[in-house]
Structure 1
Amino acid sequence: MKLNPAKCSFGVSFGKFLGYIVTHRGIEANPEQIKAIHSIPSPRNVKEVQKLTGRMAALSRFISRLSDKSHAFSETLKNPKDFKWTEKCESALHELKANLTTPPLLSKPLLGEVLLLYLAVSEHAVSAVLSREEGTKQLPIYYVSKALLDAETRYSHLEKLALGLMAVVLGEYDVIFRPATVIKSQVLADFVAEFSPALLPVLEHEIRLRNGIEEEGECTLHVAGSSNVRGAGVGIILTSPAGNTTSRAVRCNFKATNNKSEYEALIAGLSLAHQLGAENIEVYSDSQLIINQAQGEYQAKDDSMIWYLAVAQRLIKMFKSCKLTQISREQNSQADALANLGSVLETHTQMSIPFLVLQWPATLVEPSNEEISAIEEEETWMTPLVWYLEDDILPEDRNESRKIMKEAARYCLSQGKLYRRSFSGPYLRCLTPREAARILVELHEGDCGSHSSGRSLVLRAKSTGYYWPTMAEDANQNAKLCDKCQRHAPVSKLRPEYLKSISSPWPFRKWGMDIVGKFSMAPGQKVFLLIVTDYFSKWVEAEALSKITDVQIRKFIRTHVITRFGVPEEIVTDNGPQFTSQFQGVLQRLGHKALLRYTSTPSI
């Protein structure tokens, strides 16, 4: 192998590498690629617009907020038959050419250096710039931009910002959030300034709405449950002190009575309020039984009511103050309408009410670590690893200890949770068997479930960020227990067992003939038995004879076989003299193709 001198460069101060100009100052855009964009005229059809976007993609790392600047071009590609090059598109093209007049100089990061990531959001795209500090300057390293999908454009701006962070991609790195400081580069200042002013009022409003639940005062919670022949439903309306309302309509995919559905509504409402950070809450329900049992005035006697009451009281203790009040059904009409999946909400504005599905009763939820319980937590496959990583405790068995130490190198503890290290992606959270069963059900047949199984379901669980050792076996078993998968699975055409060869392809084609005897003398001095058996149907023809001759055999075949079932194609006999004399010639004179095959003993 030899080096090509024409492709080798040694001791040069600058040169072209992978389409970029690399110098001692940094990485510069290729002038030929910039010239190609400057020289392009205003597109007149879809093909020319695609040529323009392709040239822009070649310089994507040098163009700030590229997806936002090319949004006007993308609009023209949505309807190729009705192509229109508008003034907005022309203005975007001129702006792009002006920005490429002075392209930025990209810097090269150093090993072990802490890098800075600036995020920015617009209505149509999320963008980021990776930079580094060198003395008192901040130098850009890479520009990246992503156009939002139609569903992503309806995210709040804070959710768009989280989307821009791409937490899954950056999961293997140490990411630290720092408030924005003084920007020491004009290029970076332009990047942030192009996004921020128009969005600040909207962002401040979103923050106020999100923090409204934590303002001083009491949150109001209206809950209602409903049960009928079609199923059980739960309605929740949570109102913050600032007047912001959160509504939930929940369907229970399990059988529940009216009292159970009312308890499910109370538990779901208290859980929602606690998740949103409420500390003082006032609960309203139209169920006299549930309110009085929760206040301790009524006694719960049924086992299911006792379990529900224990879960509800545990949630009530999480709040600083929790008042329970019974109201009439008319006063609770909105929550009752949600519970019945109705549309009687008293509102004049458009609302989006998420429709959730509960796959398990609330009594199956594992108690939190803070709750004092007399039942000890059962040991799982994670217990030895956690003991070793947390307290350096190993089993007494040497082989088992060596196995735990070897496996522990692939795991780590973070905030009391066990995670499995991944080669190229984020850490995977380890699950108990009960948690794994719930995750599999949700991934298999949940809101976004695709009823996948086997390897596909395992890969989906890992991409979601979960791990347990028996993923493959549990995924296959879960698919076998799914009713819809069994009903709608393709019907297998395979036979339940291997095919077996048969000695005769159709009835009365092949016969086996033999002589049995000598028996005790019967009337007529008959001591022999002449038998023929069909190989396919096992049909038997027999006749008792006093002696066996070729004449009697020919008469027997004509009477019992040929006249009844037709001329056979093959007759299997032994090599007895009665069968080897003139029997074959007689069969041939009958005008058929019968084959007389001799064996030691006919297999019939």
Structure 2
Amino acid sequence: MCIDYTDLNKACPKTPFPLPSIDAMIDSTAGFKYLSFMDAYSGYNQIRMSQADEEKTSFVTEEGLYCYKVMPFGLKNAGAEYQKMVSKVFKEELGEIMEAYIDDMVVKSGTGSDHVAHLERVFAKMRQVGMRLNPKKSFFCLSSGKFLGFIISERGIEAHPDKCQAVINLKSPSSIKEVQGLTGRIAALSRFISQSAMLCKPFFDLIKKKTQAFEWGPECQEAFGKIKEYLSTPPIISRPINGEPLYLYIATNEEAISTALVREEEGVQKSVYFVSRVLRDAETRYPTIEKNAFAIVVTARKLRPYFQAHPIRVVTTMPLRKALGQFNVAGRLLKWAIELSEFDITYLSRTAYKSQALADFIVQGTSGDFTPIESVWEVYVDGASSDKGTGLGVEIISPDGDRFKYALRVNFNPSHNVAEYEAFIAGLQLVAATGAKSIKIRSDSQLVVNQVLKEYKTQDETLIKYLRKVEQLIGGFDKVLVEHIPRGENETADALSKLAKSELDKERPIIVLEIPSPSIQLLEMVVFQTRHEEEWYSPIWMYLTKGILPQDRNLARKIKRWSLEFTIIEEELCKKGYHHPWLICVGRAKADELLKETHQGICGSHQGPRTLGKRIMRQGYYWPSLRRDAEELVRRCAQCQFHARISHMPPNHLKPITSPWPFDIWGMDILGPFPQTRGNLKFIVVAVEYFTKWIEAKALSLITSQKITDFLEHQIVYRYGIPNAIITDNGRQFTGAPFKNYCRGLGIDINFASVCHPQSNGLAEVSNRTILEGLKKKIEGTKNTWPEYLSEVVWAYNTTPRSATERSPYALVYGMEAVIPMEIVHPTLRTINYSTQRNAERRMEELEVIHELREEASARQAEYQRKMRRAFDKKVAPRHFQPGDLVLRKAAAAGKHIGKMDPVWDGPFEIVKSAGKRAFYLKDAQGKVLANSWNASDLRKFYP
């Protein structure tokens, strides 16, 4: 029966349970003497459906509607669910005595008695869960059999004869579709076919010509014949033993790369896996050595489990260890080196009579001595000095003919001879980084070459130091040939030296470096000790000098990967820099000394951490925590903290003040002084209600605590009732006894805003600004007439809809909009059709729904605050404080006069307790607690 569950599968989420690796299962099954192959009888149907999901499998027939009570075939997650069940039931047996891929199972044993015991153990588990087998597809106690499309036996892994015969019996394709079918069949057998991509290249070229007429040419027929001949006797693949070394052989040509992974058993090499790949357009232009490196990368990606479980020995004549080592020859080589560094890979150079074995890999074996072939690197150097600057050019040619070009810019003003010596030294240092032992170095400077060869006597003190430096570097090679050549034969290095001192330094194939100071300074400076056993670089030093790695496998991989960036120069560990050729590695004690001296020493000016770290690296030093240590030093520097820039980014997220109902929360503030008027009026006390935004304001001559108390009593309490809370600043009018006692008597909470932080009472501050702007625009002529217009400004505010509520404060207080003078001059419908009775009825109706009006306004206000909070929070730079923290306080916020040379922060203070989420009480160094709270925006942490 076949049911289309397409729609059901689309609606079902994917079960996140992976299927086992077929290659891993085949490898773990091969090599056993006794094998039993079992197939579950209608395997999926042996799993019950959840009762709630049975109806989802319904299907219609002529006899009615039916559904499955067991898991049917065709469901998206059927395979994963069955594999999950098998993995759970045979949890203890899988990988040890049996393997299972969905409903295909195999029991493996080395002896007959063990096999019987293993079968009993497996059958017992099957009886427990009621699993049934298909007798027609189950076979027991065989020496070989078919499993997952392969033939497995004690000998190893063999290609299925039916698959091979399907290709052998195939006629020559007559269409593109048939060619694609052929390549698909070959791909299924690719593990057994040596250099399959090279053999199939004519087929791939034919498939690309889709727009042209199909033509099966002689080249395709020849390749087809070779494949048939190869598959007539395919090789037997061997099963690797855990932990044993595997050998990798490489074959490359202009169009494809191939590798053979083999193992050695009793002096005989046996193939494990063949990998082959056609090169794409850009890859075909890789140099030979890069193609070989790329072949290793491709193989490592495809056979990652093998590379992780086994040491890999790459057998080749190419200097791959050098190319994938410390020498930064090209971006992709460095990237590949980092990618391969996690694996245990070593490179073995084969002798001339050895070749790459196994079919087309021409090699007789890997046993015997692997002697390295002497490789000579060629170096061309030149230095150019002029009024426009000094540049050095270095061209390095590898034994494979690959060319690497360096242009070095000199940041000091040397003479021409010194420039030539600098180029000579740079060439020696760069080629030494490759691990080369035999070099030929050529220069067009007759003076330098003859002084190095002792043909000329050196009398200049500076040149004597340079010559001594050259001799030290030459001592690091086994064989060095120094040769003078005419300028015409040194054109590339000459062009590079001119390029270095020009602005054309962005050409991709050329690496442009900088030399900040003369190379001979390294001979005169105090060199830091770099071989302390407890320093960070000790494992790297041990690996580079003695080849010793840590016992921990993961740490060993890390060290191998990291050591690509390091080398040893003059018995010192150095790291390759991007702006400088090499950086000396220093330990903890010297690092601290360097940081302090550079930051606050004679030549220090308390630079920021980024500049501090960059300056130390430009001096030629390195340690891995340089940037972090620089940040920590600057953060704890007292002078840097007291003179630090003030951040204008808010420290906390916005917390809008919300009033649950009208007249519950009021904000109060003092506005003034203004020009004195009749009655000596100079100030305005303003109160704004947080729900309706209603304003009460009154002009005062004095702003004593008693005057403010009278305003609160007569203008607010007697009119609108006793509020729950009042928000004020820390002025004496609000902290005085009359105001506090009055509020305490009525149960009114007083919430004081932080010092110099008006945002804590933001609505009152905004109301003040609105009143002030209104008065300035109203006054004409004499400024002391402002009290006459105060009521007009307040009235205009209270009858104007506010953005937050989209209603006027008047409407939210009285339930209707006020009649304004404009409606008298230009009558509206409600003034024209005015009726006392109708007005009273309408008034009562509006009072009935005033609660609904206020709820709508509250919802709009909440949405307005949400948008405002979202915009505000984008600018937040969080600063968290807690009791016990040491902090600095803005000097300006404390009312101190700040001169040009004065610190902008004072303190330090200790946080005593929190006065809310964003304000804190402080105490000074003498233990005195400051009177008022301070907002987080006026504080910053102090690091002693």
With the shorter chain as reference, the TM-score category is 0.5 to 0.7
* Shift of residue 222, structure 1, vs aligned partner: 5.4
**Structure 1 residues 180 and 58: alpha-carbon distance in aligned structure 2, compared to 1, 3 A threshold:** farther
Q: Where do residues 356-505 of structure 1 align in structure 2 (5 Å cutoff)? A: 356-359=511-514, 361=516, 375-378=527-530, 383=535, 386=538, 413=543, 415-416=545-546, 419=549, 421-423=552-554, 426=557, 428-429=559-560, 430=562, 441=578, 498-499=653-654, 501=656
Q: Where do residues 260-271 of structure 1 align in structure 2 (5 Å cutoff)? A: 261-271=419-429
Measure, in 2, the Cα distance between the counterparts of 1:559 and 1:378.
82
**Structure 1 residues 306 and 247: alpha-carbon distance in aligned structure 2, compared to 1, 3 A threshold:** farther
Match of 1:513 among 665, 690, 696: 696
- Contact 2:384/2:419, CA 8 A, preserved across alignment: yes
- Number of positions where the alignment pairs a residue of Structure 1 with one of Structure 2: 460
Q: Where do residues 66-215 of structure 1 align in structure 2 (5 Å cutoff)? A: 66-82=196-212, 84-85=214-215, 86-110=217-241, 117-132=248-263, 138-154=269-285, 160-161=291-292, 164=295, 169=307, 170=312, 171-172=343-344, 179=351, 190-192=359-361, 211=375
Q: Give the partner amino acid of 1:375.
A: V
Match of 2:145 among 15, 19, 26: 15
Match of 1:588 among 818, 822, 830: 818
- Contact 1:519/1:528, CA 8 A, preserved across alignment: no
Measure, in 2, the Cα distance between the counterparts of 1:330 and 1:175.
39
Q: Deviations over 1:437-459 (max 9, x none)?
A: 966858xxxxxxxxxxxxxxxxx
* Shift of residue 145, structure 1, vs aligned partner: 2.6
* Shift of residue 65, structure 1, vs aligned partner: 1.5
Measure, in 2, the Cα distance between the counterparts of 1:59 and 1:87.
24
- Contact 2:260/2:272, CA 8 A, preserved across alignment: yes
Q: Higher relative contact order by CA 8 Å / sep ≥ 6: 1 or 2?
A: 1
Match of 1:355 among 506, 510, 513: 510
Q: Deviations over 1:116-135 (max 9, x none)?
A: 55544444334343445666
* Shift of residue 539, structure 1, vs aligned partner: 2.8
Q: Deviations over 1:88-115 (max 9, x none)?
A: 1232123212221222233334567666
The aligned residue for residue 537 of structure 1 is 769
* Shift of residue 188, structure 1, vs aligned partner: 5.4
**Structure 1 residues 125 and 434: alpha-carbon distance in aligned structure 2, compared to 1, 3 A threshold:** closer
Measure, in 1, the Cα distance between the counterparts of 2:486 and 2:144.
82
Q: 1:357 is paired with a residue of what secondary structure?
A: strand
Q: Give the partner amino acid of 1:513.
A: E
Measure, in 1, the Cα distance between the counterparts of 2:344 and 2:765.
78
The aligned residue for residue 50 of structure 1 is 180
- Contact 1:140/1:188, CA 8 A, preserved across alignment: no
The aligned residue for residue 719 of structure 2 is none
- Contact 1:233/1:341, CA 8 A, preserved across alignment: yes
Q: 1:100 is paired with a residue of what secondary structure?
A: helix
The aligned residue for residue 161 of structure 2 is 31
Measure, in 2, the Cα distance between the counterparts of 1:560 and 1:535.
11
- Contact 1:106/1:140, CA 8 A, preserved across alignment: yes
The aligned residue for residue 407 of structure 2 is 251
* Shift of residue 82, structure 1, vs aligned partner: 3.5
Q: 1:191 is paired with a residue of what secondary structure?
A: coil
* Shift of residue 29, structure 1, vs aligned partner: 1.2
Q: 1:315 is paired with a residue of what secondary structure?
A: helix
Q: Deviations over 1:399-458 (max 9, x none)?
A: xxxxxxxxxxxxx8464366465449945335699989966858xxxxxxxxxxxxxxxx
Q: Give the partner amino acid of 1:358.
A: L
Q: 2:142 is paired with a residue of what secondary structure?
A: coil
- Contact 2:380/2:394, CA 8 A, preserved across alignment: yes
**Structure 1 residues 561 and 376: alpha-carbon distance in aligned structure 2, compared to 1, 3 A threshold:** closer
Measure, in 2, the Cα distance between the counterparts of 1:291 and 1:89.
63
Match of 2:473 among 301, 312, 315: 315
Measure, in 2, the Cα distance between the counterparts of 1:586 and 1:25.
98
- Contact 1:511/1:533, CA 8 A, preserved across alignment: no
The aligned residue for residue 65 of structure 1 is 195
Q: Give the partner amino acid of 2:344.
A: E
Measure, in 2, the Cα distance between the counterparts of 1:568 and 1:362.
72
Q: Give the partner amino acid of 1:235.
A: G
Measure, in 2, the Cα distance between the counterparts of 1:33 and 1:15.
15
Q: 1:336 is paired with a residue of what secondary structure?
A: helix
**Structure 1 residues 56 and 279: alpha-carbon distance in aligned structure 2, compared to 1, 3 A threshold:** closer
- Contact 1:422/1:428, CA 8 A, preserved across alignment: no
Determine if the alignment matches structure 1 residue 284 to structure 2 residue 444.
yes
The aligned residue for residue 7 of structure 2 is none
- Contact 2:411/2:516, CA 8 A, preserved across alignment: no
Query: Quick one: percent identity of the two aligned structures?
Result: 27
* Shift of residue 20, structure 1, vs aligned partner: 0.3
- Contact 1:307/1:363, CA 8 A, preserved across alignment: no
Determine if the alignment matches structure 1 residue 223 to structure 2 residue 382.
yes
Q: Give the partner amino acid of 1:250.
A: Y
Q: Give the partner amino acid of 1:383.
A: E
* Shift of residue 21, structure 1, vs aligned partner: 1.3
Q: Deviations over 1:575-598 (max 9, x none)?
A: xxxxx9xx97998343899x9x9x
Measure, in 1, the Cα distance between the counterparts of 2:262 and 2:566.
45
Q: 2:461 is paired with a residue of what secondary structure?
A: coil
The aligned residue for residue 97 of structure 2 is none
* Shift of residue 69, structure 1, vs aligned partner: 0.4
- Contact 1:220/1:281, CA 8 A, preserved across alignment: yes
**Structure 1 residues 144 and 4: alpha-carbon distance in aligned structure 2, compared to 1, 3 A threshold:** farther
* TM-score, structure 1 normalization: 0.55
Q: Give the partner amino acid of 1:147.
A: V
Measure, in 2, the Cα distance between the counterparts of 1:471 and 1:272.
25
Determine if the alignment matches structure 1 residue 5 to structure 2 residue 237.
no
* Shift of residue 495, structure 1, vs aligned partner: 9.1
Q: 2:211 is paired with a residue of what secondary structure?
A: helix
Q: Deviations over 1:7-31 (max 9, x none)?
A: 7654223221121011344322113
Match of 1:297 among 430, 437, 459: 459
Q: Deviations over 1:332-388 (max 9, x none)?
A: 76643442249xxxxxxxxxx952222554757997xxx99863414779537849x
The aligned residue for residue 346 of structure 1 is none
Q: Deviations over 1:467-488 (max 9, x none)?
A: x9759969x99xxxxxxxxxxx
Measure, in 1, the Cα distance between the counterparts of 2:815 and 2:439.
109
User: Which segments of 5 or more consecutive residues in structure 1 lack a partner in the other structure?
Assistant: 197-206, 214-218, 343-352, 391-411, 443-467, 478-493, 521-526, 543-553, 571-579, 598-604
The aligned residue for residue 756 of structure 2 is none
Measure, in 1, the Cα distance between the counterparts of 2:457 and 2:253.
50
Measure, in 1, the Cα distance between the counterparts of 2:488 and 2:246.
60
- Contact 2:444/2:486, CA 8 A, preserved across alignment: no
Measure, in 1, the Cα distance between the counterparts of 2:154 and 2:461.
82
The aligned residue for residue 216 of structure 1 is none
* Shift of residue 60, structure 1, vs aligned partner: 0.9
